[in-house]
Chain A
Amino acid sequence: DAKTTQPTSMDCAEGRAANLPCNHSTISGNEYVYWYRQIHSQGPQYIIHGLKNNETNEMASLIITEDRKSSTLILPHATLRDTAVYYCIVSFNKLVFGAGTILRVKS
């Protein structure tokens, strides 16, 4: 599975959009980009995934660059409850977690 690189931590003001970047320059053609988040002492929660097109659901939007070497997860209106560790994973089958990004939403 391709490796991903994410910033260690980010801060975001409540009510503003949170944009979380992820680099995956070695992604293969059949690998999807998945985003999960984990709130303390809970199992990871699925957010969104995509192959090459941008995706949007009720939680977030996923923007994937045309060359697929990077992506951005967008939480349009961050709330305090969005404070969590966000994991960007590139995979064809099993999910291998990196260190993720600690997102702190502040009031």
Chain B
Amino acid sequence: GAVVSQHPSRVICKSGTSVKIECRSLDFQATTMFWYRQFPKQSLMLMATSNEGSKATYEQGVEKDKFLINHASLTLSTLTVTSAHPEDSSFYICSASDITGGRSPLHFGNGTRLTVT
């Protein structure tokens, strides 16, 4: 089945630094990837839609200059949390849709737990 890989699975960084999270579709091509954030005991919140070769579309209230998204190829999207602060500590999850389209389901990565100290 379709596999989405995220790296790293856990990261701890100091306040003020930037952190990059990678999301790869391993056995399929994805023109669209989605980035979510999840705080403890809450549901997933959609942050942005990442489109290959074009600018990402951000959901309302998500700062595009803080959460930089790059989708340079059909198998890789990256999320960079810039100038991270403790309130950015969260579980970040990506998902990808197969390029063949239709209504094939999204496949999710196993998430990246970010802790900002």
Where the two chains meet, the residues of A that have a C-beta atom closer than 8 Å to any C-beta of B are 32, 34, 36, 38, 41-46, 49, 51, 87, 94-100
Contact = CB atoms under 8 A, between A and B. Distances in A.
B111 A42 contact: yes
A87 B110 CA distance: 16
Contacts of B58: none
Contacts of A95: 34, 46, 95, 106
A44 B46 contact: no
Nearest to B108: A43
Interface residues of B, number: 21
User: Chain B's interface: helix, strand, loop or mixed, by majority?
Assistant: strand
User: Chain A's interface: helix, strand, loop or mixed, by majority?
Assistant: loop
B93 A94 contact: no
Nearest to A44: B108
Nearest to A99: B43
A41 B111 contact: yes
Interface in B79-117: 91, 93, 95, 103, 105-111, 113
Given A32-B103, A41-B91, A51-B103, A94 B108 contact: no
A49 B104 CA distance: 9
Contacts of A32: 103
